[in-house]
Amino acid sequence: MNPKVDWFFEKDTTWQKEFKQLRTLCLDCGLTEELKWGCPCYTLENANVVLIHGFKEYCALLFFKGALLHKANGILIQQTKNMQSARQMRFTNLQEIVTMKSIIKAYIYEAIEVEKAGLKVNLKKTSDFTITEEFQNKLNKNVALKKAFEALTPGRQRAYLFYFSQAKQSKTRESRVEKSIPQILKGKGLDD
């Protein structure tokens, strides 16, 4: 147990008992406990394996390379359709965790083996994302914008492309592109 993480388990929350049980399971599997993103994160030789976090409707174990784990039990959930690597195992009460203890530990051990083997999730490349017509028109007309966009990290590029493409109406896509141009020209990401 890492004393720097204790506060997370001591705070008054809907999921306090569930969090403590998940902590025990993660530590029983020999992982190192750290605090990352304000949540308990369990690592193997500094590589993230699993994270405990809570939401209004459920608490969860997030497996960083969950896409590589077997899906036989159908309990690993892709949070959003754009989540490429991570998968969640969700719980709504302590009894679920207690009942599934052996399955949870099996998944944690499998995640550890994935990490030991050095396996990587094949992530989509920026070129796999669609560039909306509205953004492409701006890139074609503005050399500085094109150069600035190409200088962004692939992750920042993907965030913009995804953000633009999520709007259903051309007018909304155009507005999003216009509002993002100053950020792109400054070399900043969507959320910087």
CA distance 104 to 106: 5
Q: Check if the beta carbon of residue 118 is closer than 8 Å to that of residue 97.
A: no
Q: Check if the beta carbon of residue 97 is closer than 8 Å to that of residue 91.
A: yes
Q: What is the pLDDT of residues 11-22, one digit of tens each?
A: 888 999 999 999
Q: What is the pLDDT of residues 77-116, one digit of tens each?
A: 887 766 778 899 999 999 999 999 999 999 999 999 999 9
pLDDT of residue 158: 84
pLDDT of residue 72: 60
Q: What is the mean pLDDT of residues 44-65?
A: 94
pTM assigned to the model: 0.70
The pLDDT of residue 71 is above 90? no
Q: What is the mean pLDDT of residues 110-123?
A: 88
Q: What is the pLDDT of residues 124-170, one digit of tens each?
A: 777 777 889 999 999 999 999 999 999 998 888 988 988 898 888 99
Phi, psi of 42 (to 5 degrees): -115, 125
Candidates 31, 30, 35, 29; CA nearest to 9 is 35
Task: Give the domains, in start order, of the chain with CATH numbers.
Answer: 3-116 (3.90.1150.200), 126-185 (no CATH)
The pLDDT of residue 1 is above 90? no
